[in-house]
């Protein structure tokens, strides 16, 4: 009589499922074995025994499992009580995919273990392994990319305790707290790139890429491709697979655009679209990509003059000039010289394995130089002095020999500019000048706003706005 079981009879159904599972594994797997608490084989099926060179399965009974199956981890399973649900057992010919589980008695104590060799060909798991390998490759590529595009400096690397330096650091911290564009202004060698790194390091995007591109260092014909990337085969000589641009590499992080004042006008308009619409198209592609970057721009040229000369777009200037940070030249913050020299000599100590110091006369000499190359020139001078000097004490003579002709610091007059009233600042003086100029032209044209606007080179609506802002009547 055939036994019947109700699916509500949990214990009976469970025993059936366990028996069925064992029979399925034993029937379709490449091998099955059972070991006792001491990892001695108590049962192994015939085809598994033959795989390991035994003519009869009985020859394996009672032997330690490692003697029959070299490299087996069944002993670890019975000693730890933890299963190994998927593992690879290396074999001289082909590896085996195996599963190992402990066997427990009714009280829950481990009394042995059972193992199944599931596959003798890894291609059965090829979809899983392929996906795993692809994920590992993508992860390695991402890690490599992030390591290659990490910020190198923090605000601690911007050396100086002068009021100007403290104000620069304060503004940099404010800039790091938001995603607004930052515009770094200053002569070459003042530390604009260092400050860009520091702003990124202090921002919420610090664990994302920091990517820099110098608009003055790349030929104009290649700059757009470098910036936006290229589609596969976009032009002759282009990569067949396409090439990501700096915007794509910087996704989620910070893009440092150095010497933005040298960017060609056509590319300026495309950058403006990226900043406003947060999207772009790679060269040779119709695909629109979303952009999530924080822009830090820098320039050593006068952008106001460049706008007047038509070399820089006014709309882009107003878009990037949200938080300007002007870095004064070294000659205007000479009180930072001792701290800068100490930091530079400390770096040189690691390279030259010696501790160098400047005496007071040497510092006094440095304070009389105008530093047209700024901090970069200072570092260059100190390293040259170290290389030319035999001792660890750097005096004024050794500095003078390495420096060459001294460029004196321009003397600033304490007298007030004749164009600036004692109680005026720049903005008040500018408003006074505009008020006087506009009032004079209006008077010349008998209050005719259209004629006055044309004479001044302003739009009619712009002139009306200035009249209202300056408190003038037409």
Biggest CA-to-CA distance, the chain: 122
Task: Give the integer Cα–Cα distance in Å for 292 and 247.
Answer: 8
φ, ψ for residue 100, nearest 5 deg: -130, 135
How much is the pLDDT for 138?
A: 65
How much is the pLDDT for 1?
A: 44
CB hemisphere CA count around 432 (13 angstroms): 10
Please count the other Cβ atoms lying within 10 Å of the Cβ belonging to residue 69.
Answer: 26
The partner residues of 357 in beta bridges, in order of sequence, read 393
How much is the pLDDT for 414?
A: 47
CB hemisphere CA count around 289 (13 angstroms): 20
Task: Give the integer Cα–Cα distance in Å for 86 and 76.
Answer: 14
Q: What is the pLDDT tens value at each position of the chain, 474 positions in all? A: 445 555 566 677 777 777 777 777 666 677 889 999 999 999 998 888 888 889 999 999 999 999 999 889 999 999 999 999 878 787 777 778 888 999 998 888 999 999 988 766 555 555 655 676 677 666 665 555 555 567 778 888 999 989 999 999 999 999 999 999 999 999 999 999 999 999 999 999 998 999 999 998 888 888 888 999 888 765 555 556 778 889 999 999 999 999 999 999 999 999 999 999 999 988 888 888 999 999 999 999 999 999 999 999 999 999 999 999 999 999 999 999 999 999 999 988 887 778 888 988 889 889 989 999 999 999 999 999 998 888 888 888 888 888 888 788 776 544 444 455 666 667 777 777 888 888 878 877 778 888 888 888 888 888 888 887 777 766
Please count the other Cβ atoms lying within 10 Å of the Cβ belonging to residue 277.
Answer: 11
CA angle centred on 464, ends 461 and 470, rounded to 5°: 140
CA angle centred on 183, ends 180 and 184, rounded to 5°: 135
Nearest Cα residue to 299 out of 264, 327, 271, 276: 327
- Pairing mode, strands 84-89 and 254-258: unpaired
How much is the pLDDT for 468?
A: 79
Burial 46-63 (b: 16+ CB within 10 A, else e): eebbebbebeebeebeee
- Pairing mode, strands 182-185 and 393-394: unpaired
DSSP for residue 188? T
115 and 100 in contact (C-beta within 8 Å)?
Answer: yes
Task: Give the integer Cα–Cα distance in Å for 403 and 114.
Answer: 81
How much is the pLDDT for 124?
A: 55
Structural domains in the chain, CATH included, are 14-125 (3.30.450.20), 155-231+243-326 (3.40.50.300), 331-403 (1.10.8.60), 426-470 (1.10.10)
How much is the pLDDT for 129?
A: 58
Task: Give the integer Cα–Cα distance in Å for 250 and 66.
Answer: 53
Dihedral angle sign, alpha carbons of residues 121, 125, 127, 128: negative
274 and 280 in contact (C-beta within 8 Å)?
Answer: yes
67 and 81 in contact (C-beta within 8 Å)?
Answer: no
Task: List CB contacts of 315: < 8 A, sequence separation 6 or more.
Answer: 272
How much is the pLDDT for 127?
A: 63
Residue whose structure tokens are 């609506």: 461
Task: Give the integer Cα–Cα distance in Å for 454 and 474.
Answer: 15
Residue whose structure tokens are 């019975």: 78
């Amino acid at each position: 009589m055939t036994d019947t079981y109700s699916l509500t009879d949990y214990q009976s159904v469970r025993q059936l499922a366990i028996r069925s599972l064992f029979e399925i594994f034993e029937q379709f797997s490449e091998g099955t074995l059972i070991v006792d608490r001491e990892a001695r084989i108590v049962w192994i099926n015939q085809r598994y025994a033959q795989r390991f060179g035994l003519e009869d399965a009985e020859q394996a009974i009672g032997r330690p499992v490692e003697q029959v199956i070299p490299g087996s981890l069944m002993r670890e399973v019975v000693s730890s009580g933890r299963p190994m649900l998927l593992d690879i057992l290396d074999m001289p010919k082909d590896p085996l995919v195996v599963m190992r589980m402990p066997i427990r008695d009714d009280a829950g104590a481990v009394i042995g273990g059972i193992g199944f060799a599931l596959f003798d060909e890894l291609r059965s798991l090829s979809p899983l392994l392929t996906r795993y390998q692809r994920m590992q490759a993508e992860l390695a590529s991402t890690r490599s990319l992030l390591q290659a595009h990490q910020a190198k400096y923090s605000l601690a690397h911007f050396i100086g305790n002068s009021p100007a330096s403290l104000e620069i650091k304060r503004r940099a911290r404010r800039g790091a707290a938001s995603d607004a564009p930052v515009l770094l202004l200053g002569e070459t060698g003042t530390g604009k790139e260092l400050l860009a790194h520091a702003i990124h390091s202090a921002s919420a995007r610090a664990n994302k890429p920091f990517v820099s591109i110098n608009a003055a260092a790349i030929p104009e014909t290649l700059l757009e491709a470098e910036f936006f990337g290229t589609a596969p085969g976009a032009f002759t000589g282009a990569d067949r697979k396409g090439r990501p641009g700096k915007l794509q590499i910087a996704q989620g992080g910070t893009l440092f655009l150095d010497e933005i004042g040298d960017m060609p006008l056509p590319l300026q308009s495309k950058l403006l679209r990226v900043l406003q619409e947060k999207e772009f198209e790679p060269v040779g592609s119709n695909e629109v990509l979303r952009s999530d970057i924080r822009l830090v721009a820098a320039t050593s040229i006068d952008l106001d003059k460049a706008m007047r000369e038509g070399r820089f777009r006014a709309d882009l200037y107003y878009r990037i000039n949200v938080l300007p940070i002007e870095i004064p030249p070294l000659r205007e913050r000479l009180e930072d010289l001792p701290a800068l020299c100490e930091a530079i000599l400390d770096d040189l100590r690691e390279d030259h394995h010696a501790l160098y110091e400047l005496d007071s006369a040497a510092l006094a000499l440095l304070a009389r130089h105008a530093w047209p190359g700024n901090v970069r020139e200072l570092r260059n001078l100190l390293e040259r002095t170290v290389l030319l000097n035999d001792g660890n004490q750097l005096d004024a003579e050794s500095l003078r020999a390495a420096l060459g002709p001294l460029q004196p610091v321009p003397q600033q007059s304490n007298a007030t500019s004749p164009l600036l009233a004692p109680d005026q600042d720049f903005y008040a003086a500018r408003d006074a000048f505009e008020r006087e100029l506009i009032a004079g032209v209006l008077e010349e044209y008998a209050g005719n706003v259209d004629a006055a606007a044309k004479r001044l080179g302003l739009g009619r609506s712009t002139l009306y706005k200035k009249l209202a802002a300056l408190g003038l009547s037409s």
